Amino acid sequence: MARKASQSEEREKQRTPGWETEDFLRVFQGRTGNAITRNRLNRYLREGLLFPPGKDGRFGEKHLERLQMLEHLRSRYGMSMRDMAGIFGVLEGRSEEPVREVVTEKGDDRRRKIIANAARLFAGKGYHGTTVDEIVQATGIAKGTFYLYFESKEDLLVEVIKNLIDETLQGIDEKLRGKGRSDFVTRIEAKGEELLGLYLENSELLYMMLGESVGNERLQEQIQEVYERLAERLEEDLQWGVREGEIFPYQDLRTVAYALVGMGQTVAVLVSASDREQLPRIRATVDQLIRRIFSR
């Protein structure tokens, strides 16, 4: 009977996903390229930063994900055990319930969910009125998980803007497909209308992104990436217009594309500050200007 019980336990152990300690450390090194000592692993366990292994003494994917977060915070930001304890809510005397994470989600899905919830909160409460704690609570993740995907709330703001631009560009493509073959000015107007809507609906976030970038070289680089994406799409239209013989063949179409981006942003400021009765006049003037600038 003892032998049968032992065989049954062995089969159950083989069915249980996870690793014993040494295997767990090797898997971690294989996944991340970084080694971790047994002593540091044990300290994470003692401090309550890493939850204990299962009854069979084996570690699973949830342990691996948490350990990756901890090592990321330690190596990237130099956080102490106490700092990390504050993030994960395990300081002595803390009464809040820890966030229960949905561990079955893929990383990309979880990242998209963080961005979507941040966009909703930023729109409702403003950027400065929204805290990282509120974002992680709305997403159902631990605070440490947030910092696995984003280095700061500033980084998240840029990703929210990029996501809004992606959606806007998709809307532009759908609108142009609905128009069939169209001339250059029609294509530019379609993009201008969608981008104007993006600006008017999210002006606070766009202003905030520009304001937060002052003196922040890394954030300025990310904003430059946003401008580059917009300019690239406009440059494609310029190239198309030149090939079709519809517009004047300027020497440097990339510079022209950036000029259009800058003009569009400035016109959006004008529109946002004007009465609605002035909008038809502003749009007609911009249309006239575009036709004059690009006429052969």
What CATH number has the domain bearing residue 123? Answer: 1.10.10.60
Residues 168 and 140 reside in one and the same domain? no
> What pLDDT, on the 0 to 100 scale, is given for residue 9?
46
Residues 114 and 229 reside in one and the same domain? no
Token digits of residue 167: 């959606």
In a domain, 100, yes or no: no
- In contact, 191 and 173? CB cutoff 8 Å: no
Q: Which residue has the tokens 């510079």?
A: 255
> What pLDDT, on the 0 to 100 scale, is given for residue 255?
94
In a domain, 252, yes or no: yes
Helix, strand, or coil here: 59?
strand
- Eight-class DSSP state of 47: T
Domain coverage including residue 137: 107-149
Q: Which residue has the tokens 């198309």?
A: 240
Q: Which residue has the tokens 């766009």?
A: 206
Residues 36 and 114 reside in one and the same domain? no
> What pLDDT, on the 0 to 100 scale, is given for residue 190?
78
> What pLDDT, on the 0 to 100 scale, is given for residue 105?
52
- In contact, 187 and 234? CB cutoff 8 Å: no
Q: In the chain, how many domains are there?
A: 3
The CA-atom distances, in angstroms, between 222 and each of 63, 119, 213 are 33, 18, 9
> What pLDDT, on the 0 to 100 scale, is given for residue 261?
87
The CA-atom distances, in angstroms, between 168 and each of 112, 150, 226, 240 are 16, 23, 13, 21
- In contact, 140 and 100? CB cutoff 8 Å: yes
Residues 161 and 257 reside in one and the same domain? yes
pLDDT digit string (tens) for the chain, length 296 residues: 444 444 544 444 444 468 998 999 999 999 888 888 887 888 788 778 888 888 788 898 888 888 888 888 777 767 777 767 766 665 433 434 444 444 445 557 888 999 999 988 887 788 888 999 999 999 998 888 888 888 888 888 888 888 887 887 787 777 777 666 567 777 787 777 777 777 777 776 677 666 766 777 767 777 788 788 888 888 888 998 899 888 889 999 999 999 988 888 888 878 777 777 888 888 888 888 888 888 87
pTM of the model: 0.55
What's the CA gap between 134 and 143, in Å, rounded?
10
Residues 266 and 159 reside in one and the same domain? yes
Residues 62 and 121 reside in one and the same domain? no
